[in-house]
A = this chain, B = another copy of it.
Amino acid sequence: MKVFVRLSPDPITPLPDIADSTSGAVVTFSGVVRNVEQNQPITSLFYEAYHPMAETLIRDILRQLSLPYPCSSVEVLHRLGHIPIGETSLWIRVLAPHRAEAFSLLTHFLDRLKQDVPIWKTKPSP
């Protein structure tokens, strides 16, 4: 399984399409900063990461998940720093021969990301 991970303060732009006629399913997830956080209106969120550990853990989790859910490619972009509402904080694309593996790997990865990977969002101090 090809894995690409990038944590960066740059705005996220989706990666170019991958030409792969063995993959019948492409599933993309974008996480967008909403205008409310814990029921409070906000204008941006601040994301920080423990960078080397976060990237290592993301790769470890994807390697583990590729055993039950074999996919051909997973790309993960996570933006850090101040992100205004309406902009993308997380972008993930999964390619797989069939849709079931792609959805399973993606949803399990998101659960693990939000449980274990050292990335945090905080409201900017007023």
Contact = CB atoms under 8 A, between A and B. Distances in A.
A24 B28 contact: no
Contacts of A19: 86
B32 A26 contact: yes
A47 to B, nearest CB: 14
- One complex includes copies of this chain to the number of 2
Contacts of A31: 24-25, 99
Contacts of A27: 27-30
Contact of A107 (B22, B103, B110): B103
Nearest to A97: B34
A97 B20 CA distance: 31
Nearest to A24: B34
7 contacts: A20-B86, A21-B34, A23-B32, A24-B31, A24-B34, A25-B29, A103-B103
